[in-house]
Amino acid sequence: MKPLRKAVIPVAGLGTRFLPATKAIPKEMLPVVDKPLIQYIVEEASEAGITDLILVTHSDKSAIENHFDKRYELESELIRRGKTDLLEIKRGTTPENIRIISVRQPEALGLGHAVLCAEPAIGDEPFAVLLPDVLMYHPHKGCLKQMVDSYNRTHTSIIALTEVAMDEVEKYGIADVEGSDLRIAGMVEKPKPEDAPSNLSIVGRYIFTPRIMEILKQTKKGAGGEIQLTDAMAELLRYEVMFGFTFDGVSYDCGDKQGFLQANVEYALRDKALGKEFREWLKLFASSL
């Protein structure tokens, strides 16, 4: 099995839940404290040893590509003004070990279709998929790094899982698992609580063997008239073992307004420069309610 060095980030979505903010700004560029969502995802991939990042994008998302591109005029101006601290922040936007590749998703045909659009850049290698509206926080080792360590032992597909309340399983894809090693037996999309096989939801980080691409090529349109990644994953189970992985850390669904606001508050509290002052303000504000 070839080493895991590639990852796909689907960023072609419209971000309608955040209108009007996302009318002209990609959802992935919304800031959590002082960095856009997409930058946290790229940093997580870099930490995990990923070298090739494939952005599956859309013509309206050029701001994402521009964010990771060089801006010589900005660097020159920062140098002229002697703002070396800001210059280092700007240069650190793209990790040194990362090469970013963009491919287009010509029409919105689902997550499975978005992953398939990256196939020319993936080839016959294993790869990760990171959903850009899910932040995964751990102070020392990111979610994908934890998953890569597990993959290096099993060399099979792995899905990140997190526990949710049983009365919330209808919002998520839920995994049916067997045994202490969380072997995947099946997946159910948004089941009723009484029908849910577990309370372990699929949380936006995946590692796949190359076989998934061949399956996606044959996958028909499913729910919503889209090519569903979960349909291809269910088919993959016919050919190979797949494991769930419970992330040691905190996840934030930043595609949801509540999750996005929680991420901003908690990341601000952890910030070395802002945390202390922000915490004091937050206490005063909460006490005034």
Tens of pLDDT along 207-225? 999 999 999 999 888 777 8
What is the predicted pLDDT for the residue at 67? 76
Tens of pLDDT along 12-44? 887 788 889 888 889 999 999 989 999 999 999
Looking at the predicted structure, is the pLDDT value of residue 76 above 70?
no
Tell me what the pLDDT averaged over the chain comes to: 88
Q: 240-277: buried (b, 16+ CB within 10 Å) or exposed (e) per residue?
A: eebbbbebebebbbbbeeebbebbbebbbeeeeeeeee
Please, what CATH class does the domain formed by 6-255 belong to?
A: alpha beta
- Is the pTM here over 0.75, yes or no? yes
| Cα 93 from Cα 75, distance rounded (Å) | 13
Looking at the predicted structure, is the pLDDT value of residue 88 above 90?
no
Which of 50-59, 61-70, 229-238, 255-264 shows the lowest per-residue confidence on average (mean pLDDT)?
Answer: 61-70
- Which residues belong to CATH 3.90.550.10 in the chain? 6-255
Please report, rounded to a whole number, the percentage of residues in the chain having pLDDT higher than 90.
Answer: 56
Spell out the SS3 assignment of 86-135. Answer: HHHHHHCCCCCCCEEEEEECCCCCCHHHHHHHCHHHHCCCCEEEECCCEE
Looking at per-residue pLDDT, the higher value among 226 and 253 belongs to 253
